[in-house]
Amino acid sequence: MFRSHTCGELRPEHVGQEVTLAGWVHRRRDHGELIFIDLRDRYGITQVVFDSITAATHQVAEQSRSEYVLQVRGCVRPRPAEAVNPQLATGAVELEALDAQILNAARTTPIYIAQEGGEDEALRLKYRYLDLRRERMQRNLILRHRVIKFMRDFLDQEDFLEIETPILIKSTPEGARDYLVPSRVHPGKFYALPQSPQQLKQMLMVAGYDKYFQIARCFRDEDLRSDRQPEFTQLDMEMSFVEQEDVLVLLERLFTALCQTVVPQKRLLTPFRRLSYAEALERYGSDKPDLRYELELIKLDDLLANTPFQVFRGALDAGGQVKGLRIPGCGGYSRKQLDELVELAKAGGARGLAWAALPAAGGEVRSSFGKNLGAGEMEALVGRMQAQAGDLLLIVADQAAVVAASLDKLRREFATRLNLADPNTLHFSWVLDFPMLEWNEDEARWDARHHPFTAPLDADLHLLASDPGVVRAKAYDLVLNGYEVGGGSIRIHRRDVQQQVFDLLNISRETAQAQFGHMLEAFEYGAPPHGGIAGGIDRIVMLLADESTIREIMAFPKTQQASDLMTAAPSSVDERQLKELHIALR
RNA sequence: GGGCCCGUGGUGUAGCGGUUAACAUGCAGCCCUGUCAAGGCUGAGAUCGCGGGUUCGAACCCCGUCGGGCCCGCCA
């Protein structure tokens, strides 16, 4: 045994006991004859005092440097009243070192452990094992552990079974790009890593495991974002004999209890608000709106029905929309600041951004487009947007999707600038009634928006043949503070409806047989009605931890170029390995 | 595939056409018995990511390249 206690454990009740601690030198304060060392492990920090009276022990402290690994035997004693450190959990006591040894020395570390630095993230990733020693990362990984532990315990209580599914599976061309694994035994053939265990969990429903879950690693070979890594973890669930409402209610109970347990200090809004996909896009321009603040998009089409302004006119004539945002108190923006906003709108796909600034003192409206408007139109816009002196009005005219994307960008930007989103609030919501299909312009065909097994709303079933674009699905997303943290659907379990959907998606019988034959066959042997959901654990933990990238809550994340800077993966491999796998590089 | 931003001692920054490349912190040595971001003194440490170019002269300007970040496309 290297230690009798951890560095976070000692309290006044331990006074007088002889204990042994082991840990890293967090900080050293050398006063000559007296040396203080803060000894750290993942449980905390304990101050160890080395007095020159114990000469050999004192010498160990003299030689010690930051991040040396020490073992110290000593006596727990109370600190003098004026030397108590209320910042430390162990701050009422200290360890009087009687005997100590250096278990291992350490080079000067490239990053400081004791201080949260602003270093280049690449450096942190290269030396991740040092970065992970920091309190922040430990706190995040501990939170992550608690989240996953809670999910397992909760679902166990609800009679769910955690069942593992394979990592080496069959590739299907649907969805994201697959990570492929070559087969040695089958020349020229490949496994794929799962984008999600979708088909497998549906097979488990056919098999009668009516409440399944898994903490499932998923892989998608797509470009990265701050909330997207090539491998990530989902809470994957599937249930039989359930309707959409059952799934929503269960998940709401799960996440409510989860948040109340692991982040009780946060304000959780319940019940979760529900809004349709159409409403979300209409009011917020996003299917994952941050509802902690309002700042809604305002529809202006009807006021401009006869406008002479070509930009608005053109958009409306082309079947598009004109919508705006009222930004309170930003009417004083400079030309340069406004130009930045125009660039932001363009990043969202808009060709431009019309703005109107109302002076704080009242008077003439400054705007990029006022002179092009017809009589009374500016007044009508100002009225509709309920603009007040000092406000800034931002207006985009384009196709609905472009208007939504660009105003969503602006809406989120101003939430940040104006501090509208309370970081301490968790605002979950359900986005429902997604369109089932999506028109693929490039390929001129319908694509499944969720996946091809998603069931249509019963009320829309009859439209499948006549007007597929308006058919809504029994699909639902769980949204938290502007992030999609979960999504799922009720699946089709009727063979005739499935065939109808395949026909719509232009999936031939042969293709369906080749790609999904095993599922279709399985469904002929008594498939129960079923549905499920998958939650993005990384994103949820990120939000609960108040972090802005999921890299901060993963032990060993990858860079935007999908490389691991610590191990230098991916890497070249031996010619012999390639040969065994029947692979020739081009 | 595209747009924008970043790269200077171990670390974080300043310098933005001529400087002995500055500051903080860390590091090393010495002094110091109540510190907890300990303090004091002394010192070492950077060919400015890399490669070209412009210039009498480049950390600084230009081109390319590598690495990192944010976003668009992509992510059923």
Q: Are residues A352 and A391 in the same domain?
A: yes
Measure, in angstroms, how far nucleotide B27 C1' is from residue A108 CA.
Answer: 8
Higher per-residue pLDDT: A305 or A537: A537
Q: Which structural domain range is residue A352 located in? A: 298-399
Q: What percent of chain A has pLDDT over 90?
A: 86
Q: Is A450 annotated as a binding residue?
A: yes
Q: Following DSSP, what letter does each residue of A53-82 receive, concatenated?
A: TSHHHHHHHHH--TT-EEEEEEEEEEPPGG
Q: Are residues A254 and A307 in the same domain?
A: no
* A62, pLDDT greater than 80: yes
Structure tokens at A151: 């999910």
For residue A461, the domain's CATH number is 3.30.930.10
Cα A400 vs. chain centroid, distance in angstroms?
26
Protein residue nearest nucleotide B38, by CA to C1': A29
Q: Is A116 annotated as a binding residue?
A: no
For residue A35, the domain's CATH number is 2.40.50.140
Q: Which residues of chain A (450-469) touch nucleic strand B at CB < 7 A?
A: 450-452
Q: Which residues of chain A (268-327) touch nucleic strand B at CB < 7 A?
A: none
Measure, in angstroms, how far nucleotide B65 C1' is from residue A353 CA.
Answer: 36
With CA atoms as reference, report the closest residue to A162 among A90, A213, A117, A115.
A213
Burial group, residue A503, by CB count within 10 angstroms (0-12, 13-18, 19+): middle
Q: Is A539 annotated as a binding residue?
A: yes
Q: Are A394 and A407 in contact (CB under 8 A)?
A: yes
A463-469 mean pLDDT: 90
Nucleotides of B under 7 A from a protein CB: 1, 10-13, 25-28, 31-39, 67-76
Q: Which nucleotide is nearest to A548 (CA to C1')?
A: B70
Asked if A108 CB < 7 A from strand B, the reply is yes
Q: Are residues A386 and A502 in the same domain?
A: no
Kindly give, in sequence order, each residue whose CB lies less than 8 Å from that of residue A376, ignoring residues fewer than 6 positions away. none
Check whether the bond before A570 is cis (ω within 30° of 0): yes
Q: Is A358 a domain residue?
A: yes
- What pLDDT, on the 0 to 100 scale, is given for residue A496? 83
Q: Is A98 a domain residue?
A: yes
With CA atoms as reference, report the closest residue to A512 among A499, A527, A496.
A499
Q: Are residues A435 and A554 in the same domain?
A: yes
- Give tens-digit pLDDT for A477-523: 999 999 999 999 999 998 888 888 988 888 888 988 888 889 889 99
Check whether the bond before A110 is cis (ω within 30° of 0): no
Q: What is the 3-state secondary structure (H, E, C) of A412-465?
A: HHHHHHCCCCCCCEECEEEEECCECEEEECCCCEEEECCCCCECECHHHCCHHH
Pairing state between β A273-276 and A530-536:
unpaired
- At residue A548 the predicted structure's pLDDT band, cuts being 50, 70 and 90, is very high
- What pLDDT, on the 0 to 100 scale, is given for residue A535? 97
Asked if A174 CB < 7 A from strand B, the reply is yes
ipTM of the complex: 0.94
A562-581 mean pLDDT: 95
Q: Is A313 annotated as a binding residue?
A: no
Q: Which residues of chain A (7-46) touch nucleic strand B at CB < 7 A?
A: 27, 29-34, 36, 38
CA distance A380 to A214: 55
Q: Which residues of chain A (63-82) touch nucleic strand B at CB < 7 A?
A: 65-66, 79-80, 82
Q: Is A574 a domain residue?
A: no
- What pLDDT, on the 0 to 100 scale, is given for residue A499? 87
- What pLDDT, on the 0 to 100 scale, is given for residue A226? 96
Q: Are residues A471 and A514 in the same domain?
A: yes
A465-480 mean pLDDT: 94
Measure, in angstroms, how far nucleotide B43 C1' is from residue A532 CA.
Answer: 67
Q: What three-state secondary structure class fits A245?
A: helix
Asked if A533 CB < 7 A from strand B, the reply is no
How many domains, in total, are found in chain A? 3
Q: Are residues A468 and A556 in the same domain?
A: yes
- Give tens-digit pLDDT for A321-332: 999 999 999 999
Q: Is A489 a domain residue?
A: yes
Q: Are residues A228 and A327 in the same domain?
A: no
* A19, pLDDT greater than 80: yes
Q: Is A517 annotated as a binding residue?
A: no
- Give tens-digit pLDDT for A73-127: 999 999 999 999 999 999 999 999 999 999 999 999 999 999 887 899 999 999 9
Q: Are residues A71 and A155 in the same domain?
A: no
A334-340 mean pLDDT: 86
- What pLDDT, on the 0 to 100 scale, is given for residue A368? 93
- What pLDDT, on the 0 to 100 scale, is given for residue A586? 80
A151-159 mean pLDDT: 98
Measure, in angstroms, how far nucleotide B25 C1' is from residue A421 CA.
Answer: 35
- Give tens-digit pLDDT for A229-288: 999 999 999 999 999 999 999 999 999 999 999 999 999 999 999 999 999 999 999 999
* Phi, psi torsion values for A190, nearest 5 degrees: -135, 145
Measure, in angstroms, how far nucleotide B54 C1' is from residue A561 CA.
Answer: 33
Q: Are residues A543 and A446 in the same domain?
A: yes
Neighbours of A311 (CB within 10 A): 19
Q: Is A3 a domain residue?
A: no
Q: Are residues A542 and A433 in the same domain?
A: yes
- What pLDDT, on the 0 to 100 scale, is given for residue A553? 97
With CA atoms as reference, report the closest residue to A44 among A129, A135, A143.
A135
- What pLDDT, on the 0 to 100 scale, is given for residue A115? 87
Q: Are residues A240 and A314 in the same domain?
A: no
Q: Is A433 a domain residue?
A: yes
Structure tokens at A429: 């919501």
Asked if A473 CB < 7 A from strand B, the reply is no
SS3 content of chain A, % helix, strand, coil (to 5): 35, 25, 40
Asked if A346 CB < 7 A from strand B, the reply is no
pTM above 0.90, yes or no: yes
Q: Is A484 annotated as a binding residue?
A: yes
Which of A80, A104, A128 corresponds to the end of one domain?
Answer: A104
Q: Which residues of chain A (351-410) touch nucleic strand B at CB < 7 A?
A: 405, 409
Q: Are residues A78 and A152 in the same domain?
A: no
Measure, in angstroms, how far nucleotide B60 C1' is from residue A81 CA.
Answer: 56
For residue A354, the domain's CATH number is 3.30.1360.30
Q: Which residues pair with A454 in a beta bridge?
A: A491
Q: What three-state secondary structure class fits A9?
A: coil
